[in-house]
Chain A
Amino acid sequence: MSDTAGNGAVLVVGGGISGLTAALEAAEVGNDVFLVEKNAYFGGRVAQLNQYFPKLCPPTCGLEINFKRIKDNRKIRTYSLTTVKSISGGPGNFEVQLETAPRYINSNCTACGDCAQACSEEIDNAFNFGMNKIKAAYLPHEMAFPRRYVLAKDACSAASLAAIKSACKYNAVDLDMQPQTFTLKVSSIIWSTGWDPYDANKITNLNYNSSNAIITNMMMERLAADNGPTKGKIVRPGDNKEPASFAFVQCAGSRDENHLQHCSYICCMATFKHISYIRAQYPEAKIYVFYIDLRTPGKYEHFREKFMADPNITFIKGKVADIVAERDGGVTLTAENAVSGTKVHQKVDLCVLATGMEPALGDQGKALGVNMDGNGFVVSDAAKGMVSAGCAKAAVDVYTSGQSSTAAALKAIQIGR
């Protein structure tokens, strides 16, 4: 395939599980596919998950086989650190301008890690939501694909940069790397730009920033992961206390007029998954789940059932009105129990906000002429040559993302035929 494959070629924007799926499914039919990802690695949100519900298996298992399919397939070309700048033309003959941000490490990198050893600065580890630090020359995570380091050049002193450059035996450190723009000619575009965790700071009544004892559900994934900031030990950030009690605040920012109006689909299952993480480490811990509805439909109902009988888990139907930091490092939640009509005050050691999915493309999509609905999700519009997949299209789980991404691949192929 060439850089300007043109006829029948598909551009997939976003390299999470949906984009990977869409790209692979189209390429394995025989189409040329360009897959671009804004992060330095592919895998998106699922790469950050410790386990999938309901099987409690590692997402890297599915990612590994998808990466293998990509490496074995000459029809796919991948671009990390790359974003779409502008789009012209129409279905069948799009011209897309893209930009690749400098990685400061070129393709000579063997991932030997000598640069990280030589680097003296540390930066917040974005992969772990800032819960720990990593060297400013880093591999985003163990399973990162492509397996190439990244250099946060701005975080490093001149001396450190010099040390990093000289530590590399393979001439892979390129401090003069510039943003690179390039053009692709494609027949269709799949938007699989996924989601961001809703910003917990915006839910002012939950006082996210007031205490280390309030974390988000995505932070919980990293805390529970063996390759996370605590090597899988679920402890309270800041003081590393082993919590004796936990609260889950469901619909934190979802199903809420003031925040995300949609239901984020996965948070109830995620909470039950988190309960399974907690139970593996703290068999006796008290767990309180504040919810509006427990949305664990279909197959997930079996998953919920396993925990409903646990005598140390209390389910309270009621929206949390307020969270207050306590002196001992814990927090107290206030809610009204909708069934009993009574007010509940519950103090816990660690509180998890089940924050939802905010579509990640945002205003940038509008600027690029993408058809977006009132919630910021991308509307599939085959007539315009653009289709959406996974959580760019609507809040869904991984399984449903697989379906919609495979569907998007066919819609994209049709446009090119």
Chain B
Amino acid sequence: MKKVYGAYLCTGCGIGNVLDVDGLKDAASDAGIAMSEHACLCGADGRAFIEKDIAEKGVNTIVACACSPRVMQNEFNFGEQTITIRGNLREHVAWTAGEQKEDGSVDEFLQEMATDYVRMAVTRAQKTELPEPYKLETISKKILVMGGGIAGLTAANEAAKAGYEVTIVEKDGQLGGKALGWRKMFPTAYPYTDLENPTIQDMIAEVQANSRITVKTSCEVARIGGSPGQFNVTLKAAGASTEWDAPAKVTADQQDLINKGELEDPNKGLQKYTNLNPEGEIFGAVVLATGWKPADVSQYDHLGYGKLTNVVTNAEFEKLAKNGKVPARVAFVQSPGGKDNDKDFPYCNSVTSMVALKQANYVVEDNPVDGQAYILYQHMRTPGNAEFFYKGMQAKDGVFMTKAAVTKVAASGSGLVVDVEDNLLGEDIQLEVDMVVLAAGMVPTTATDNVINLAYRQGPAFLDLDLFDGYADSHFICFPYETRRTGIYNCGGVRKAETMEETIDDATGAALKAIQCIESANRGVAVHPRSGDQTYPDFFFSRCTQCKRCTEECPFGALDDDEKGTPLPNPTRCRRCGTCMGACPERIINFADYSIDMIGSMVKAIEVPDDDEEKLRVIVFVCENDAYPAIDMSGMHRNKINRLVRFLPVRCLGSMNMVWIKDAMSAGIDGALLLGCKYGDDYQCHFVKGSEIASRRMENIGETLGSLGLEPERCGVREIAISDYDKIPAIIDEFVEEIVAMGPNPFKGF
């Protein structure tokens, strides 16, 4: 596209009142784009004003210096073939100005701030390009479902109902998973009081009757290579070893040792991870539904599991109940902590309370005369509508429940005796029972195994699952389906201990995400959180030094590499955060509308007075996801902002390339601050690692600056939440004061 520029200045919402409009227009012209003004650019008249230039002059690249790019998107949208760059003169300048001067004169510092924003917007427009979406040559719309239990069956069925081809891979010889062993299911419909007969056989039959679904039992995934839209999947007989098994992660250092013969290659005999199996099946997306395993409860000595006969887990009790009559006197122990704590067994969520209620019902059902079921809990966890079942069971003859600390289970004759303290009965008691059932948790398969068996540079498994107790998650709360491996969506027991009702919803949602990922890849756009983004990282390989930083830092494992270490991009795995761009010391990774040169040029567009100690300059690189909106909100509150700072939005702090800091310092800018999200265990970064990686890079740049004779403290990072808007002025002021105390950048004027 040959760019034809037009720059427009809105003087509404106070902008024209506090700024010298002609000065801003001159600045735009000096920077290369003539600017015209309008009193209300977002109104119908203002829009017509711009559209006239589009029609008459063929303008296709618009600079609109007005309000924040977060508002009035429709008003400043002139179609897909037109670029619009927004300069934020309202929230970032006019609304931070405070009271207008009485004589109506313009504050010199404020004017300089606005002028810089105009120049930066013009520069951005000059450096940006219309994106062309990345399209795969061929795309598969088939969905692979790993696991044939309730979650997998549901995901397959629901995806097929929406018209997609599905293959289910199940390790066991038959479909159905854990549900095959259930005698009854929890209630799923109002009034939620009665147990239901298992529907698992119906679910299996539905899957088997659906011509869109292929079922492969006694089968598992050896490896998954490729990327969304074209995952190359090698399947194998369950338990078999093949040359296509997923290779273990080998770090660059380990590879060196292996090459020198000093370390045994863990992947000996395996196909290299970048090799695509010519006989592999191609899938567009994956639903992971490999479920859970019953937890080991033998570590609780006082409960006697593994030592005393007739102390069993809930899973074992269900098998007994499925196959015949259960004993008459049964104690259900929900919490293993005795008097020390009132926690449930690990990995229980709220499922095991419901299981105990269900199994107590078996006791009284099978033993109508003498059935006695004792549920010994610290906290009964029957949230939502599960409460109705709990309530119904409370009224059942033969079912007794109490809050209790179970301190000991011991043998007594042919039975067992359970010591029950701190209960609701007024005194400590001993229960004589035939059997004790421990409410063992449901350990997700992802806690112990690689499960997804990816042939990725960053290894075969999801990363950092210890933050989520081993559950396959990356974004607890807002975006449950996000993982750090694009195109792979979890449901069922790998997400959390779930009831069947919840699993069915969960699996349906996972099917939706798989479909959405395929359709997004087909359109050549990103998935969450930059949904619809048509840009993608473009590598200028001839200058790559194989440093592998991009490959290692990508939060989503999008980059593989060849023998030499040159990255092999997989754009459909990419979430477009730009962490690779920030990592690259050679600055060879760029996006059509976001590049090293663009941001560097915007930094250089800031005018730095050579010899005025009153006019130091501080550049603030701002994460556009949370910090930028927070600055907007600060403006809405009409909080004043220090007039020495210039805000520059970045996609994510992960995309911060340290060359921009050097650009700023060599341009004579006196300080540089990064504003981004909180990191750590409860990270808020939408790209998981961005702000954490940026902080690490900044520590290193500190050293570099030190070697140049600049104070490392000229660069800083601050973590803020989107709700911290009223704290922003003080955070900025504090940093600026530190810079002022240090004095001007000694490189100024060079």
Residue numbers in A under 8 Å from B686 (CB-CB): 65
Which of B67, B426, B480, B506 has the most C-beta atoms of chain A within 10 angstroms of its own C-beta? B480
Cβ–Cβ contact B13 & A110, under 8 A: yes
CA distance A294 to B380 in the complex (A): 8
Is the C-beta of A29 less than 8 angstroms from some C-beta in chain B? yes
The 8 Å CB contact of B722, one of A64, A112, A296, A341, is A64
Is the C-beta of B38 less than 8 angstroms from some C-beta in chain A? no
Cβ–Cβ contact A404 & B626, under 8 A: no
Closest to A404 in B: B505
Cβ–Cβ contact B163 & A28, under 8 A: no
Cβ–Cβ contact A295 & B350, under 8 A: yes
Closest to B501 in A: A394
Residue numbers in B under 8 Å from A297 (CB-CB): 344, 348-350, 381, 383
Instruction: List the one stretch of A124-132, A240-248, A360-368, A372-380 in contact with chain B.
Output: A372-380
| Least Cβ–Cβ distance between B249 and chain A, in angstroms | 27
Cβ–Cβ contact B678 & A57, under 8 A: yes
Cβ–Cβ contact A402 & B478, under 8 A: yes
Closest to B161 in A: A414
Is the C-beta of B519 less than 8 angstroms from some C-beta in chain A? yes
Is the C-beta of B326 less than 8 angstroms from some C-beta in chain A? no
**Interface flags, B71-101, vs A, CB<8A=1, else 0:** 1111000000000000000000000000000
Residue numbers in A under 8 Å from B519 (CB-CB): 28-30
Cβ–Cβ contact A57 & B382, under 8 A: no
Residue numbers in A under 8 Å from B520 (CB-CB): 28
Cβ–Cβ contact A410 & B162, under 8 A: yes
Residue numbers in B under 8 Å from A339 (CB-CB): 403, 422-424
CA distance A398 to B476 in the complex (A): 10
| Least Cβ–Cβ distance between B570 and chain A, in angstroms | 20
| Least Cβ–Cβ distance between B420 and chain A, in angstroms | 13
Instruction: List the one stretch of B366-374, B510-518, B611-619 in contact with chain A.
Output: B510-518
Instruction: List the one stretch of A83-91, A212-220, A260-268 in contact with chain B.
Output: A260-268
| Least Cβ–Cβ distance between B462 and chain A, in angstroms | 16
| Least Cβ–Cβ distance between B678 and chain A, in angstroms | 7
Q: List which A268-288 residues lie within 8 A (CB) of chain B.
A: none
- A28 touching B531 in the complex, CB below 8 Å, given contacts A169-B12, A226-B726: yes
Closest to A266 in B: B383
Residue numbers in A under 8 Å from B74 (CB-CB): 71
Count residues on chain B whose CB falls below 8 Å from chain A CBs. 94
Is the C-beta of B388 less than 8 angstroms from some C-beta in chain A? yes
Is the C-beta of A259 less than 8 angstroms from some C-beta in chain B? no
CA distance A111 to B636 in the complex (A): 9
Residue numbers in A under 8 Å from B342 (CB-CB): 294, 308
Which of B342, B384, B723, B725 has the most C-beta atoms of chain A within 10 angstroms of its own C-beta? B384
Q: List which B315-356 residues lie within 8 A (CB) of chain A.
A: 341-344, 347-350
Is the C-beta of A409 less than 8 angstroms from some C-beta in chain B? yes
| Least Cβ–Cβ distance between A117 and chain B, in angstroms | 11
Cβ–Cβ contact A299 & B476, under 8 A: yes
CA distance A52 to B684 in the complex (A): 12
For the residues of A in contact with B, the DSSP-based class is: loop
Residue numbers in B under 8 Å from A110 (CB-CB): 12-13, 40, 42, 67, 72
| Least Cβ–Cβ distance between B77 and chain A, in angstroms | 9
CA distance A417 to B212 in the complex (A): 15
Cβ–Cβ contact B509 & A112, under 8 A: no
Cβ–Cβ contact A69 & B531, under 8 A: yes
Cβ–Cβ contact A263 & B190, under 8 A: no
Cβ–Cβ contact A379 & B190, under 8 A: yes
| Least Cβ–Cβ distance between A258 and chain B, in angstroms | 14
Is the C-beta of A199 less than 8 angstroms from some C-beta in chain B? no
- A25 touching B516 in the complex, CB below 8 Å, given contacts A61-B684, A339-B422, A404-B509: yes
Q: List which A159-192 residues lie within 8 A (CB) of chain B.
A: 169-171
| Least Cβ–Cβ distance between B571 and chain A, in angstroms | 18
Cβ–Cβ contact B625 & A64, under 8 A: yes
Closest to B503 in A: A403
The 8 Å CB contact of A143, one of B426, B497, B506, B633, is B633
Residue numbers in B under 8 Å from A225 (CB-CB): 723
Q: List which B465-510 residues lie within 8 A (CB) of chain A.
A: 468-469, 471, 476-481, 496-497, 502, 504-510
The 8 Å CB contact of B468, one of A299, A406, A407, is A299
CA distance A255 to B532 in the complex (A): 44
Cβ–Cβ contact B14 & A58, under 8 A: no
Q: List which B165-210 residues lie within 8 A (CB) of chain A.
A: 189-191
Residue numbers in A under 8 Å from B516 (CB-CB): 25, 28-29
Cβ–Cβ contact B12 & A301, under 8 A: no
Is the C-beta of B412 less than 8 angstroms from some C-beta in chain A? no
| Least Cβ–Cβ distance between B538 and chain A, in angstroms | 21
CA distance A96 to B349 in the complex (A): 40
Which of A308, A399, A403, A404 has the most C-beta atoms of chain B within 10 angstroms of its own C-beta? A403
Is the C-beta of B279 less than 8 angstroms from some C-beta in chain A? no
**Interface flags, A37-58, vs B, CB<8A=1, else 0:** 0000000000000101001111
Cβ–Cβ contact B350 & A298, under 8 A: yes
| Least Cβ–Cβ distance between A37 and chain B, in angstroms | 18
CA distance A29 to B726 in the complex (A): 38
Interface residues of chain A, those whose CB is within 8 Å of chain B, are 17, 24-25, 28-30, 50, 52, 55-58, 60-62, 64-65, 68-69, 71-73, 108, 110-112, 142-143, 147, 169-171, 225-227, 255, 261-265, 293-299, 301, 305, 308, 317, 338-339, 341, 373-375, 377, 379, 394-396, 398-400, 402-407, 409-411, 413-414, 417
- Top-5 shortest CB links A-B: A406-B509, A62-B478, A407-B508, A298-B349, A373-B190
* A–B Cβ pairs within 8 angstroms, 29 of them: A25-B512, A28-B516, A28-B528, A61-B626, A62-B479, A64-B629, A72-B532, A110-B42, A142-B633, A170-B43, A171-B43, A255-B387, A263-B384, A265-B383, A294-B342, A295-B383, A297-B344, A297-B349, A395-B383, A398-B477, A399-B476, A402-B480, A403-B481, A403-B509, A405-B509, A413-B162, A413-B512, A414-B158, A414-B162
Interface residues of chain B, those whose CB is within 8 Å of chain A, are 12-14, 39-40, 42-43, 67, 70-74, 158, 161-163, 189-191, 341-344, 347-350, 377, 379-388, 391, 403, 422-424, 426, 468-469, 471, 476-481, 496-497, 502, 504-513, 515-516, 519-520, 523, 527-529, 531-532, 625-626, 629, 633, 636-637, 677-678, 682, 684, 686, 721-726
